[in-house]
């Protein structure tokens, strides 16, 4: 983001990019693999495995974008590298399927058991990526390696890290919210401050987001340090 441009409503700038998430996921990292282990499901079809070579056939893109967490922190100018989600959809997903059973949403499952879902239309925007590099380095465990979603126009909780299954679907069957059903906004667009489904945005900013923030940041840093001492996989320093 151009430093002249104000941050989106209710956000504050952090000077570093923390590892973050719902805190029950901070410790669920034993199952995060170092190399890509990704499946694709379309409608009620069987899951197929996608290897790195298949992804590497897509054009590689680089993108500089900002990242906004619903808990009110933002970081600017992250340099992502990877594949445009729309290219992935058009060149890999659509080439596997004969008919469209009314697909309108996508459920992302992650190897730490986290899940996120987005509307297919939102995912086809120019700036949505499957990223495997950030700031010039291979995406390590810390920020969602081996592969994560990056959807800058949506709050960070939609940008699923450590992707393991991408399910194109016509319902939310198979999705189990990692947070509370009454909280989660289905689109979570930053520009409209869609922080939660109910309650006004000040509630999420001042009652939930800001007071909880230092605790969660502290907890994630602690878990990351511990994992590092025990011999960390690539990317956690």
Binding site for Mo ion (CB under 5 A): 69-70, 156-157
Can residue 204 be called a binding residue for ligand MTE (CB under 6 A)? Answer: no
- Cβ 30 to Mo ion, closest distance in Å? 22
Q: Specify whether the CB–CB gap between 184 and 158 falls below 8 A.
A: no
Q: Which stretch binds ligand MTE (CB under 6 A): 16-24, 121-129, 187-195, 202-210?
A: 16-24
Among 235, 77, 216, 59, smallest CA distance to 152 is for 77
Among 1, 137, 4, smallest CA distance to 68 is for 1
- Cβ 34 to ligand MTE, closest distance in Å? 15
Q: Specify whether the CB–CB gap between 148 and 140 falls below 8 A.
A: no
Q: Specify whether the CB–CB gap between 16 and 200 falls below 8 A.
A: no
Can residue 210 be called a binding residue for ligand MTE (CB under 6 A)? Answer: no
Residues 120-132 as b or e (16 or more Cβ within 10 Å = b):
bebbeeeebbbbb
Contact partner, 190, from Mo ion, ligand MTE, none, Cβ < 5-8 Å per class? none
* Host H or E run for residue 85: helix 85-87
Contact partner, 65, from ligand MTE, Mo ion, none, Cβ < 5-8 Å per class? none
Residue nearest to ligand MTE (CB): 21
Q: What DSSP character marks residue 90?
A: I
Counting residues that bind ligand MTE (by CB under 6 A) gives: 19
Whole-Å CA distances, 207 to 5, 156, 202, 203, 211 = 26, 19, 8, 5, 7
Round to whole Å and give the CA distance between 20 and 74. 12
By rule CB under 6 A, what string of x and - marks binding of each residue 24-53 to ligand MTE? Answer: -x----------------------------
Q: Which of 110, 131, 166, 188 binds ligand MTE (CB under 6 A)?
A: 110
Q: Specify whether the CB–CB gap between 71 and 14 falls below 8 A.
A: no
By rule CB under 6 A, what string of x and - marks binding of each residue 161-180 to ligand MTE? Answer: xx------------------
Can residue 133 be called a binding residue for ligand MTE (CB under 6 A)? Answer: no
By rule CB under 6 A, what string of x and - marks binding of each residue 139-158 to ligand MTE? Answer: ----xx-----------xx-
Round to whole Å and give the CA distance between 231 and 87. 36
* Closer CB to ligand MTE, 169 or 178, in the complex: 178
- SS3 letters for 64-84? EEEEECCCCEEEEEEEEEEEE
Contact partner, 159, from Mo ion, ligand MTE, none, Cβ < 5-8 Å per class? ligand MTE
Name the residues that contact ligand MTE, by CB under 6 A: 17-22, 25, 69, 110, 112, 114, 143-144, 156-157, 159-162
């Amino acid at each position: 983001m151009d430093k002249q441009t104000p941050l989106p409503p209710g956000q504050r700038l952090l000077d570093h990019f923390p590892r973050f998430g719902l805190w029950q996921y901070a410790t669920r990292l034993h199952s995060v693999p170092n190399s890509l282990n990704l499946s694709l499901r379309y409608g009620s079809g069987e899951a197929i495995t996608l290897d790195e070579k298949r992804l590497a056939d897509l054009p590689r893109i680089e993108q500089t974008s900002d990242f906004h967490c619903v808990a009110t922190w933002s970081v600017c100018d992250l340099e992502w590298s990877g594949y445009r989600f729309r290219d992935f959809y058009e060149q890999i997903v659509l080439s596997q399927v004969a008919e469209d059973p009314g697909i309108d949403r996508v459920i992302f499952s992650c190897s730490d058991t986290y899940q996120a879902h987005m509307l297919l239309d939102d995912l086809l925007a120019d700036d949505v990526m499957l990223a495997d590099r950030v700031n010039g380095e291979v995406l390590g465990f810390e920020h969602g390696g081996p592969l994560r979603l990056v959807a800058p126009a949506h709050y960070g909780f939609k940008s699923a890290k450590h992707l393991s299954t991408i399910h194109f679907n016509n319902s939310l069957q198979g999705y189990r919210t990692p947070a509370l059903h009454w909280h989660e906004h289905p689109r979570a667009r930053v520009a409209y401050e869609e922080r939660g489904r109910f309650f006004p945005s000040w509630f999420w900013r001042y009652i939930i987001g800001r007071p909880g923030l230092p605790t969660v940041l502290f907890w994630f840093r602690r878990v990351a340090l511990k994992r590092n001492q025990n011999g960390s996989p690539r990317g956690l320093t």
